[in-house]
Amino acid sequence: MDATRIKIVKDDLNKYINVPVNMQWDFMGRDESIDEYETAAVNEVIGEVEDFEIIRFAHNVFQNFESSIRYNFYFYDYSTPITGATVGAWTSSYLNNGFSVQDVYYYSKSFTKSFFKLDLYDSPNENEQTLYLSIILPVQQGLTQTAILSALIPPVQIKKSEMVLDYIGTDKEGFFIYWLKKRTFLNVRTFYMTAKFFDAKNGQFIKVTE
The Cα–Cα gap between 205 and 197 comes to 5
Structure confidence at residue 10 (pLDDT): 62
The more confident residue out of 202 and 168 is: 202
Residues in Cβ contact with 95 at an 8 Å cutoff, skipping those fewer than 6 apart:
101, 104, 147
pTM of the model: 0.71
What's the pLDDT at 99?
94
Q: Which helix (H) or strand (E) holds 129?
A: none
Does 23 score more than 70 pLDDT? no
Q: Can you spell out the DSSP letters for 48-109? A: ------EEEE-PPPBTTTB--EEEE--EE-TTS---TT-GGGEES-GGGGT--HHHHHTT-H
For residues 21-50, average pLDDT: 66
> Residue 1: what pLDDT?
57
Whole-number pLDDT of residue 164: 94
Show the CA angle centred on residue 167, arms to residues 53 and 130, nearest 5°.
45
For residue 135, the model assigns a pLDDT of 94
Amino acid at 3: A
How many residues belong to the chain? Answer: 210
pLDDT of residue 173: 92
Distance from the first to the final alpha carbon of the chain: 80
pLDDT of residue 167: 85
